[in-house]
Structure 1
Amino acid sequence: MADKEEQETVTSYKLFLRVISKRRTWVCLFLVVYAILLSSSWNSLNSIVDWYGENHKTSSGWPAVYASVLLGAVFGVLSMAAALFIAVPAIVVIWISVVVSMAFAGKSRRRVVVEGRKVTKEIAGFVFRVLLKEGNFVALLCALLAYFVFFNSYSSSS
């Protein structure tokens, strides 16, 4: 009886590993996290759009610029938060692998601690740069898209 349960556990673990190793799984997980973050910030997005609705009647197109920059910033921060949420487990696994490899390579504990700190700083810096670059790209794309949507609604309403 225990052997059958153990075999089912191994089978389900292999299935889990096969599913989690697919890129589609990570893309879907990213989209789910992004949707959760987006729905939680829905009030701030609505307030930006409402503010634009109240102020777009001015003679200039500046409210469209302000609103699109704010929307781009919100979407950029949301995409960085979602990407960080997905990347943290992979970062931890990489960090643990590097530190354990150094320990198995025969380095002293003191040397592992010193080099582990260096590795931690390097990994954190690299992740921060990548997140910033991708977040800025998403923010720019969303700001441009929002500007054209707002400006077209501004032009058609006047």
Structure 2
Amino acid sequence: MADKEEQETMTSYKLFLRVISKRRTWVCLFLVVYAVLLSSSRNSLNSIVNWYGENHQTSSGLPAIYASVLLGAVFGVLSMAAALFIAVPAIVVIWISVVVTIAFPVKSRKKVVIEGRKVTKEIAGYVFKVLLKEGNFVALLCAVTAYFVFFKSYSSSS
């Protein structure tokens, strides 16, 4: 009886590993986290759009630029937060692997701590650079798209 339960547990564990190793699983997880973050920041997005609705009658296209930059910034921050949320488990596994690998040839705990701190700084710096690059790309894409949408609505209402 215990063997059957153990076998079912191993089967479900293997299924879990197979599902979690797929790229589409992580993409779906990213999209779910992004949707949750987006729905939680709905008020700020609505306030930006409402502000543009009140101010787009001016003679210049500056409200469209301001609103699109703000929307781009919000979407960029949201995408960085979602990517960080998804990437944290992988980062922790990589960090643990590297620190354990460092610990094998080194005898002194003090040296392991020093090397571990260096590795932690390097990993954090690399992750921060990647997040900024990806977040800036999303922010730019959203800002340009929002500008054209706002400018089109500005042109059609004039």
Find out whether 1:45 has 2:45 as its counterpart.
yes
Contact 2:68 2:143 in 1 (8 A): yes
Over residues 50-96 of structure 1, what are the superposed CA-to-partner deviations in whole Å (9 max), with x where a residue is unaligned?
00000000111000000000000000000000000001110000000
CA–CA distance in structure 1, aligned partners of residues 105 and 5 of structure 2: 38
CA–CA distance in structure 2, aligned partners of residues 16 and 148 of structure 1: 44
Contact 2:106 2:112 in 1 (8 A): no
CA–CA distance in structure 2, aligned partners of residues 105 and 21 of structure 1: 31
Corresponding position of 1:55: 55
Return the offset for 1:108.
Answer: 2.1
CA–CA distance in structure 1, aligned partners of residues 106 and 118 of structure 2: 18
Query: After the TM superposition, which residues 112-123 of structure 1 pair with which residues of structure 2 at under 5 Å, given as runs?
Result: 112-123=112-123
**Larger mean Cα displacement after TM superposition, 77-86 or 96-105:** 96-105
Return the offset for 1:121.
Answer: 0.1
Find out whether 1:69 has 2:72 as its counterpart.
no
CA–CA distance in structure 1, aligned partners of residues 50 and 61 of structure 2: 16
* CA RMSD across the alignment: 0.7
Find out whether 1:90 has 2:90 as its counterpart.
yes
Corresponding position of 2:34: 34
Return the offset for 1:109.
Answer: 1.3
CA–CA distance in structure 2, aligned partners of residues 58 and 157 of structure 1: 11
1:124 partner amino acid = A
1:39 partner amino acid = S
Q: What SS class does the counterpart of residue 60 from structure 1 fall into?
A: coil
Q: Which runs of 5+ in 2 are unaligned?
A: none
State how many pairs are aligned. Answer: 158
